[in-house]
Structure 1
Amino acid sequence: MNNQTNNTAISSQEPQPVTDNSSSIQNSERLDFIRNTVNQAQNISRPCDISREDILTSNKRIEMMLQEVMTTMNAGFESVHASIRLLQATQSRQTTELQKLNRYFTDFFSLGNALFNPSSANPQTPNPSTQTPPSAVHLQQSAAVDIPSTANIPSSVAMKSSFPQYKMNRIIVTVTDLWREYASGFNDSPSIQSLEAKYGTRWRQDRKESRYFSRRKEIYDAIKSKAEQEDISYELAAQCMEAQRVQLEKAKYEQTKKIVNLRMQYNLASELSFNKFKLMARSIQTKNNNGNNSENTVHETLYDTPLMIIVLQSLLKTKILYIIIGLLLVSHFSANQRLSKSSFICETSVSLWKQKYERVLWGCTLFILENWVMMSSIFVFS
């Protein structure tokens, strides 16, 4: 007996653990809320047990929350549209700059009609590979021989026949080959620089040759200005411009490939999410049709608080956000369609466009995720 009394005295003297009344109250409130939610979910098929005042109160609360969420989402979408418009204006300026650069390289991708379409070629035009600039003695002899035969021919035709007719090469692709034709010539043919020095514009009286020369002259001038600015030879300047052209082609190919991959991924994600949403809507309608009350429609069912929580959770699980992201990307791609289809994209514009594109994409994604998490937390913990 004495031992028992001592033990009880010692146990009474031990310090008791301190309990937090506020935490216990919060836990009890959460348990009560979970029990009420489960009871309401079990009584979905019996709407007559719920009073009309409770239904109206829950409906008003849901409508107020939805209005607040819609206003917040509208403000966010307006900010996204403003950023997209700013991006479009920046891209329009970049497009004008790219068009200026595109003039120097337009002729590189045009194939010659004379080589691939013989019917359009002039049969009387000599081959430029075997054409040589006539010497002064040869011109005098030909003029002396042709004087009696051209007595009745107009002077303009006689002057045209006295100048060489050179045809520029149509299959040139690189800048180095283009400068070689201008400076030294191909296959023992005269160079364009020598023809310009001797005959001026009279050797290219044909309209096609004049058009080709006017396009390529911009590239000749660009090579000369680059060589003068950097104090290098013309051949080295042409090689630098060729390396720049190859880099532009690679950047264009990589950017087009990324755009195609993004389109395929987000189209697939949006299609799968939309199919899951349709199946979920059909399952809700089937439950309403199989219920005891035939007048309980989908509209009335969605106004029930526990069922609204379940629907929101299922929407988050099915990743319905991919649909909104896919729509934003489709609008963004349509705005950038002209830029992606342009012939050339310089490295600086590609880097700036990529940075702004990723910034807008991540901003839209984070904004939508924050709004959906906020809305789901309101319905779950309210």
Structure 2
Amino acid sequence: MDPIDLLGVADGFSDEERLIRDTVRDFVDAKVRPNVGRWFADGTFPRELAPELGELGLFGMHLQGYGCAGASATAYGIACMELEAVDSGLRSFVSVQGSLAMTAIHKFGSEDQKQQWLPKMATGEVIGCFGLTEPDFGSNPAGMRTTAREVNGEWILNGSKLWITNGGIADVAVVWARTEDRIRGFLVPRGTKGFTTRDIKDKLSLRASVTSELILEDCVLPADAVLPESRGVGAPLSCLNEARFGILWGAVGAARDCYATALDYAKTRVQFDRPIAGFQLTQEKLVGMVLELEKAFLAAVHIGRLKDAGKCRAEHVSFGKLNNVRAALDIARTARTILAASGITTEYSVLRHANNLESVLTYEGTSEIHTLVLGQAITGIGAYR
């Protein structure tokens, strides 16, 4: 039996899915894993990885056309799992580019907008971000205060967005704003007058990731900057659901890496003249971790297959995001106890994963919001207000 995949869940992957898994795993092991501890400690993200990630076809890989790979949802999920096995910041970079910014353009943009932006975003030549969250409106984006006024054939945007992944390095921002009658999406290229970004410093989580504030002060855009098919808050929320799907897979990768690290450490760390893996309390921790890991993995695969069959609902994604991130965070914390003092350094990944997962737990929908989504699904009664 494979001690990392005790149930052999990955045995059900197709040949193509295994190839994607192995290709992404080999890349991150060679290019990211040796350096990510330093990037995390320094609070930096190497944008120069973008073209290589694009060459692998990871940006918008689940989208059709415009240079995108057109892969299955499950294949995309597997890629997210391997990316986050190294660091949540790397998976976030890819998710925001593909599942948020590119998906918004692909779903709601004009043909000219798709042709202008998507091929260059697919290769990593152009980086995008997704400006929805505001300082006072996270879980309730419908209350956003950012406005867009149409004046003499142009759009004038005012407001700010906060906690925006990729914001400080993005070449184009998809910004959501309130017009006279509805919420709409706008493409705001870097360098547009009235548009600035400010990176958020001193983070204790997702340090190998760029997180920024977007500031719009009488930002003037041409008439064709609006995403013509974006009508109402349901448009950005549909993009968020795509990103959440990647998260529920990515959390499995982070959990797997923590468990594998703890298992390896326990088998080689000697106390009282024997490996600590031979002690009952350590085995209890390891067994508890692998149980939760495999259940999360099974949930991810099942939800992926539902999505490929066109049967996946938003509630399924909420189930996976809520369960898998919660399980991954518990696994990371337990793994840290096995590594003891060694677990607090960047030499090992477990506390870095735990810190990152604290952010993953609350972004793209907090655990409370996903709980209420599922509560409504099982009772038929909404409890948001």
TM-score range, shorter chain: under 0.3
TM-score by length of 2: 0.22
Which structure has more relative contact order (CA 8 Å, sep 6+)? It is: 1
TM-score by length of 1: 0.22
Q: Please identify which structure carries the higher strand content.
A: 2
Which structure has the larger Rg over C-alpha atoms? 1
Q: Please identify which structure carries the higher helix content.
A: 1
